[in-house]
Structure 1
């Protein structure tokens, strides 16, 4: 099974042909327009959530993988989408596109992820992959007394650790959070402002059976998006 997450920086209908050669089974695409805007059906199935038809969160399936919205879905967490995935075996997927929250600053970015993953944590008793654009790195975890968060990325990491769910990049590379050498975002497409803010978390058994994990290179993707794709190939 191959899982790819890529914030496409909008207009995915003009860009999907660049990601398809990587042969995803599951493809998580933040900033994706509503599927009605596509001219052709290049996928088996798609789930989409969003308030703006030009910019939402999509999960695509390919190669006969079936996806349905998990029965626990709560639209209070607008851009965190729990998904049931069925092939020979059933697993769960939580797709994420973290955003600012001006109405409730405690829920901005990682604060929303922390709150939503606590809500969905019963899912983690079954094999669950969590992937997408977190818009956060542990270097920003330090509490701002004027704008406290519900939870930090460190809190999220510790929560998932209880269920033996870990970041694939950090497990494969043995690199600590906060000192990642491979960016997933070049802010405003500037090579001088790199950050690692996109992740794929998976159960330890799935990670141990993984074949490969890679992050797209600046030269290959910057003309399409400020984010690089994360590509995980699993047994």
Structure 2
């Protein structure tokens, strides 16, 4: 199964052809407009959540992968979408687009991810993949105050490790979090 995540920085309908050569089975797209704006149906199915029709979180399926929003979905965890995926077997996917929370600054970025993963951790009893745009690095953990119940990326990593869920990037490159030498983000100029 090939899972790709790409924060498209909006206007995905004008950019989607750039990702198709990578042949995703599942594609997680933060900052994606509502699928009603697409002229072409280049995917099998799509799930989308968001408050703004121009900028939400989408998960696309290809190659006959079927999916549905997981029954544990809680709208109060904005832009964290639990999904049940099925083809030959069933797995769970938690799609993430971490962002600022102006109403509750303690839940900004990684704090929201930390809280949502603790809420959804019963899903980890089954095979689960967590992927998306976390908008955070462990080097910022000490720069921002830690509030009770509002964890850091280190807390997120430790939680996932308890369930034997780890970063594919860090496992393949054998690089520790915070010491990445290669860019993990690329932006168009």
- Verify same fold: TM over 0.5: yes
Match of residue 177 from structure 2 = 177
Matches within 5 A, 1:71-150: 71-142=71-142, 144-145=144-145, 148=147, 150=150
4+ long deviations beyond 2 Å: none
* TM, length-normalised to structure 2: 0.96
Unaligned residue ranges in structure 1 (runs of 5+) = 190-221, 224-235
Provide the rounded CA distance (Å) in 1 between the counterparts of 2:183 and 2:147.
26
* SS in structure 2 of the partner of residue 166 of structure 1: coil
Question: TM-score normalised to the size of structure 1?
Answer: 0.78
2:67 matched to 1:67?
yes
1:157 matched to which residue of 2? Answer: 157
Deviations 1:67-88 (A, max 9, x none): 1000000000120000000000
Query: Matched residue pairs, number?
Result: 188
Corresponding residue for residue 26 of structure 2? 26
Q: Give the Cα–Cα distance (whole angstroms) in 2 for the partners of residues 131 and 30 of structure 1.
A: 11
CA-based RMSD: 1.3
> Are 1:52 and 2:52 an aligned pair?
yes
Structure 2 equivalent of residue 206 of structure 1: none
**1:232 corresponds to which residue?**
none
The gaps in structure 2 that reach 5 residues or longer are none
Relative contact order, CA 8 A, sep 6+: which one is greater?
Answer: 1
Aligned mates of 1:62, 1:121 — CA distance in 2: 27
